[in-house]
Structure 1
Amino acid sequence: MKEHEKMTNQGIITKVSGPLIVAKNMGSAQVYDVVRVSDKRLIGEVLELRGDLASIQVYEETAGIGPGEPVFLTNEPLSVELGPGLIGGIFDGIQRPLDSIYQIHGQGIPLGVDIPKLNREKLWQFIPQVEVGDIVEGGDIIGIVHESESVVHKVMVPPNLSGTVKSIKSGEFTVVDTVCELDHDGDILPLKMMQSWPVRIKRPYNKKIAPTQPMVTGQRVIDTLFPIAIGGIAAIPGPFGSGKTVVQHQLAKWADADIIVYIGCGERGNEMTDVLMEFPELKDPRTGQPLMKRTVLIANTSNMPVAAREASIYTGITIAEYFRDMGYKVAIMADSTSRWAEALREMSSRLEEMPGEEGYPAYLGSRIAEFYERAGLVETLGSKARTGAITAIGAVSPPGGDTSEPVSQATLRIVKVFWGLSASLAYRRHFPAIDWLKSYSLYDEQIRDFFNTNVDKNWTHHVSFVSTLLQEEASLQEIVRLVGVDSLGASDRLKLLVAQMIREDYLHQNAFDPIDTYSSLDKQFRLLDMIILFNDLAVHAIEHEMSFKDIERLAVKEQIGRFKYVEEKDMLNTYEEVVKEMHQQFSGLRKE
């Protein structure tokens, strides 16, 4: 049954202001209820109620709509459909399937298009995991579906239901077929593979757990200096052209996550096109399957309706919570939260609310907090204990790269990892352009033991050395700019040399090189270990009055620089060869 067939009550439009309309006779509506506007059946959502007057944000173009036209009530909140068919799909901000719309209507999205969010005709092989007579509760897994080669979809009892299994089926079914029946105190509850959930209500769980493990990304500057925990929250602010989208693409490709939810929220259409073109071609390093086989895309680009940008964030995080409840590690990328905040600002101004700083609504900070607080590592619902995680990474696009503006500041008060992108680094073609002097991670202490235990006991020492040296380099550069490099002693010049090696050979990483695009933690440590060994040997040589110019010209420097282009399988042999060569070259130095 189509949505508009359930509508009975109706209001009347009294005012149209862009994506915002005001309608009367709306006394039976609730805030955040979905409505259909005019005979075109445009999708809208109630934002505010004053008596029987309702302010409605419309998620489609309102040109040609005027006062006197009807508004149809659904008396249901904006919800997403959760079930098999999400993986590999591309949806707009209110979960309309863009690929299905394209097949039926072509390139344009018709106004008021009414297509089921999940395919009602496709058959899925349902494999039961419970038997008749079993007692189940909300969150328990009643069956599985092999949704893709990379993802086993776990069909769960909805959070608010429980009972005894009265019947359970096996075979091929659509998402709306009943596959199980529960007996709850004499009431028979039919269960389908699909469930619906309001996007503005967080899905429940048993408890949150403090994160203790890093989400390995394969990006050296992140994993080494500014790591993020599984279930953590991070922000990537930076000016135009500094590489925010490329960093998010890299994280989507390589991060230690089972499921990727990528939200293109108000960014340019060509960036989402890059994702669509690249992800099906890119092989998942863990399964060998295309990356799209474990990805859900929410596309609400800059040329799509502004109002739907806000919904896209909630749609994405609700889908992420659903896969988290299955026990998966989910990474959600929002690109970018600034465009989402701009949508809030536009709707707030049309509602004539009291503006906050720079015209943003006064509740901007609380809305951003609500989004990021839905991330985390949790113990999920269900009689059998399992954990799931959502790691949220949001790009912020401050005008001119000025992070003192309201969206950046509101975000920084919430997130625990700040990857600040630098225009000057991007201009020098240093990517990822994460500024090591401004960025930070508050997960360091929580996940330090993991690195020391699972990678090497010297990991923390090496990271501390790098951080200290890069800070010292910044101070020495000030002196060099004033009096020149020749005024420095050999030990200070060595610091500049080793800091340059760290920047160019370690922190710089080529996202488009098939080998350098990803570095395992073991490879990261080996490369860092060689640079620090070079430093230690050089310090010893300078103390014994060896020539700094000879140290500077050692051929082993180039071997260290080429190490990041060595394949993982050849890494250990190459590491041992370079270390041996380094000792030989330093032993051959002469005194000044």
Structure 2
Amino acid sequence: MNQTASIYGINGPVVTVKDAPWLTMMEMVYVGNERLIGEVIAVHDDAAVIQVYEETSGLTVNEPVVSTGTPMEVTLGPGLIGNIFDGIERPLKSVEALSGAFIARGLRPEAIDMDKKWDIKVLAHEGMMVTPCTILAETQETSLIQHKIMVPPNIEGEILSIGASGSYTCRDTLAEIKTPDGKVKKIGLIQHWPIRTPRPYGRRDPISMPLITGQRILDILFPLAKGGTAAIPGGFGTGKTMTQHQLAKWSDADIIIYIGCGERGNEMTQVLEDFTGLIDPKSGQPLMNRTLLIANTSNMPVAAREASIYTGVTLAEYYRDMGYHVAIMADSTSRWAEALREISGRLEEMPAEEGFPAYLPSRLSGFYERAGYVHTLNGLDGSVTLIGAVSPQGGDFSEPVTQNTKRFTRCFWGLDKDLAYARHYPAINWLSSYSEYIDDLGPWYTENVDPDFLSARADIIRILQEESSLMDIVKLIGADVLPEDQRLTLEIARVIRVGFLQQNAYHTTDTYVPIAKQYKMLKVILYLYEKCKDFVVKQAIPLSQIQKTGIFDRVIKMKYDIENDHPEKFDAVFEAIDALQF
């Protein structure tokens, strides 16, 4: 039975109640006469502290606080894909229908349309012994996603009864399972799971497959693995959101979950409008048929911002258990950390560096540790890949959120404001960025791309590093005093930067590049370098004479001139390089 206490104190989103010993940590409660959603975050011998996920203006002392006996949880079932939720899984379309353009308080619309009928194909039978996450049935959630109706992770036993294939709503019972302790559990199309508790899995498998993004600097130089973690730190205007948009549009994940955590309202509006109008390049169908959006803008309650990333990763784990590869874009974890700092300040906790709570590192690690490539409890393989944007104030990568994020992610795509201001996009600095997955993914690249892939990649990185060293000299005394071979290195580095690393998101051919074409471009550049080095070093041909042929500009333009589905056109570029004569 739900028990009731009274509000004793209010400090922004933090509410204190006295004499409520039945409240437990992480329990969901209803606060005030409008029954605002809250969560217990501290329990003392004479009081409990609650963070409220809605606006608390007008709330007064002595209003009721009602316990629910359940943790803060989300509803999982068919109908999630293609939807737009706030940080606590309230569908914004339903909220708009109830309260207009602004979210009213106390609204609790169902996360899923409970009355929509789904055509269910039953796969299990009576008398069957089932374990956690056993697949009972399946339905076509969207044209791209087949939704699997699973036994909840905390239930096992024998199927006493199960319905026939047919039409069901989310209110209907599909099966009844008798558990080992003799209880009978009713299983429907939906289930609930606490957002702060990771869903269980069978085992965590080693990283072995890259997340192909179609972005050359990522796929070739700093690859991310399926089930891996990546950070995209950068100051204002460096392209964090744009980079995440490109990953969401083009990466080969089965499902995309985009979490707008504390971003500006107009920016989130653009995201929502962009995604709802995009066509999935793999299927030719709307991208929303495999996308789920969580929008928690900067003017929404700060506590809900803190919950939004947990809501997103719980939804991702649910689809992972169906055998899908899910990619999460969290934009941005700095806003989430600021929410932690604000709530911590209201709780009068001892601040750590720059006012952030001392438990910031553990919260970040707890979030990123929920990524992984796993063998699920039902025998399928699935993954959750986490890509978190970080917005350090003033672009200072030494601040606590960026530094702690680097500790828990293995891929670091550092955005550079100088590159962004020079209109070099993506503005990922190739000298400060890194990927620790290259050794894990090396066998895949060797087998699926080319046996020489790793050595070719190393050559490109070496040339870029040599350019950086030479530019220190050039800034002091100019490029004219350099020997010809070093000037050639600078010219080839320019070809790599402009013709390979720079990518136009608005160009039909260049916005996405298959890995095979990326490697062909790489080989052309390295072949040109070796050919020109032979002219410059062995034959003493001046670099200026080679430049007059226009071969460098032709190689730069091949990213536009050669269509993604016409790799045979690279032969003409190789022939043009071979035809150079002096």
The offset of 1:567, in angstroms, is 5.5
1:557-592 Cα offsets, whole Å, 9 max, x none, are: 2322222124545532210111111211x2x22xxx
Q: Which residue of 2 aligns with 1:508?
A: 502
Cα distance in structure 1, aligned partners of 2:523 and 2:562: 17
Q: Which residue of 1 aligns with 2:16?
A: 22
Q: Does 1:563 align with 2:573?
A: no
Q: Which residue of 2 aligns with 1:230?
A: 226
Contact 2:29 2:65 (C-alpha < 8 Å) held by counterparts:
yes
Q: Does 1:292 align with 2:288?
A: yes
Q: Which residue of 2 aligns with 1:204?
A: 200
Q: Which residue of 2 aligns with 1:443?
A: 437
The offset of 1:56, in angstroms, is 1.0
Q: What secondary structure is seen at the aligned counterpart in 1 of 2:516?
A: helix
Cα distance in structure 1, aligned partners of 2:54 and 2:314: 22
The offset of 1:152, in angstroms, is 0.4
The offset of 1:159, in angstroms, is 1.0
Q: Which residue of 1 aligns with 2:216?
A: 220
The offset of 1:55, in angstroms, is 1.1
Cα distance in structure 2, aligned partners of 1:566 and 1:372: 40
Query: CA, structure 1 residues 179+444, in 2 after alignment: closer, same or farther (shift >3 Å)?
Result: same
Cα distance in structure 2, aligned partners of 1:325 and 1:33: 25
Contact 1:46 1:54 (C-alpha < 8 Å) held by counterparts:
yes
Give the AA of the match of 2:545.
D
| Pairing partner for 1:553 from 548, 552, 557 | 548
Cα distance in structure 1, aligned partners of 2:572 and 2:279: 31
Q: What secondary structure is seen at the aligned counterpart in 1 of 2:218?
A: helix
Q: Which residue of 2 aligns with 1:3?
A: none
| Pairing partner for 1:191 from 187, 193, 208 | 187
Cα distance in structure 2, aligned partners of 1:556 and 1:437: 27
Cα distance in structure 1, aligned partners of 2:482 and 2:98: 71
Q: What secondary structure is seen at the aligned counterpart in 2 of 1:34?
A: strand
Q: What does residue range 86-235 of structure 1 map to in structure 2 within 5 Å?
A: 86-169=80-163, 170-185=165-180, 186-235=182-231
Q: Which residue of 1 aligns with 2:314?
A: 318
Contact 1:26 1:53 (C-alpha < 8 Å) held by counterparts:
yes
Contact 1:177 1:192 (C-alpha < 8 Å) held by counterparts:
yes
Q: What secondary structure is seen at the aligned counterpart in 2 of 1:279?
A: helix
Q: Which residue of 1 aligns with 2:455?
A: 461
Q: Which residue of 1 aligns with 2:374?
A: 378
| Pairing partner for 1:583 from 568, 574, 578 | 578
| Pairing partner for 2:355 from 355, 359, 368 | 359
* % identity of equivalent residues: 49
Q: What does residue range 397-416 of structure 1 map to in structure 2 within 5 Å?
A: 397-416=391-410
Contact 1:239 1:401 (C-alpha < 8 Å) held by counterparts:
yes
Q: What secondary structure is seen at the aligned counterpart in 1 of 2:566?
A: helix
Q: Which residue of 2 aligns with 1:532?
A: 526
The offset of 1:501, in angstroms, is 0.2
Cα distance in structure 1, aligned partners of 2:256 and 2:88: 18
Q: Which residue of 2 aligns with 1:328?
A: 324
Cα distance in structure 2, aligned partners of 1:418 and 1:156: 36
Aligned length: 579
Query: CA, structure 1 residues 360+569, in 2 after alignment: closer, same or farther (shift >3 Å)?
Result: closer
| Pairing partner for 2:267 from 267, 271, 277 | 271
Q: Which residue of 2 aligns with 1:8?
A: 2
Give the AA of the match of 2:171.
V
Give the AA of the match of 1:236.
I
Cα distance in structure 2, aligned partners of 1:187 and 1:567: 65
Contact 1:93 1:315 (C-alpha < 8 Å) held by counterparts:
yes
Contact 1:523 1:568 (C-alpha < 8 Å) held by counterparts:
no
| Pairing partner for 1:78 from 60, 72, 83 | 72
Cα distance in structure 2, aligned partners of 1:106 and 1:227: 43
Give the AA of the match of 1:29.
L
The offset of 1:116, in angstroms, is 1.4
Cα distance in structure 2, aligned partners of 1:8 and 1:451: 57
**Structure 1 stretch displaced more, 568-577 or 281-290:** 568-577
Structural RMSD (CA): 1.2
Q: What secondary structure is seen at the aligned counterpart in 2 of 1:176?
A: coil
The offset of 1:224, in angstroms, is 0.8
The offset of 1:196, in angstroms, is 0.1
Query: CA, structure 1 residues 250+53, in 2 after alignment: closer, same or farther (shift >3 Å)?
Result: same
| Pairing partner for 1:425 from 395, 419, 429 | 419
The two structures have a TM-score, normalised by structure 2, of 0.98
The offset of 1:317, in angstroms, is 0.5
Query: CA, structure 1 residues 106+439, in 2 after alignment: closer, same or farther (shift >3 Å)?
Result: same
**Structure 1 stretch displaced more, 553-562 or 463-472:** 553-562
Cα distance in structure 1, aligned partners of 2:212 and 2:99: 42
1:36-78 Cα offsets, whole Å, 9 max, x none, are: 1110111111111112311111111111112122111112110
Cα distance in structure 1, aligned partners of 2:501 and 2:271: 25
Give the AA of the match of 1:480.
V
Cα distance in structure 2, aligned partners of 1:143 and 1:78: 27
Contact 1:10 1:25 (C-alpha < 8 Å) held by counterparts:
no
Contact 2:513 2:564 (C-alpha < 8 Å) held by counterparts:
no
Give the AA of the match of 2:34.
K
The offset of 1:132, in angstroms, is 2.3
Cα distance in structure 2, aligned partners of 1:570 and 1:112: 53
Q: What secondary structure is seen at the aligned counterpart in 1 of 2:310?
A: helix
Q: What secondary structure is seen at the aligned counterpart in 2 of 1:130?
A: coil
Q: Which residue of 1 aligns with 2:303?
A: 307
The two structures have a TM-score, normalised by structure 1, of 0.96
Consecutive unaligned residues in structure 1, runs of 5 or more: 1-6
1:211-243 Cα offsets, whole Å, 9 max, x none, are: 011111110001111101110001000000000
Q: Which residue of 2 aligns with 1:254?
A: 250
**Structure 1 stretch displaced more, 562-571 or 116-125:** 562-571
1:179-236 Cα offsets, whole Å, 9 max, x none, are: 1222335543211010000001110011111101111111000111110111000100
Cα distance in structure 2, aligned partners of 1:161 and 1:291: 34
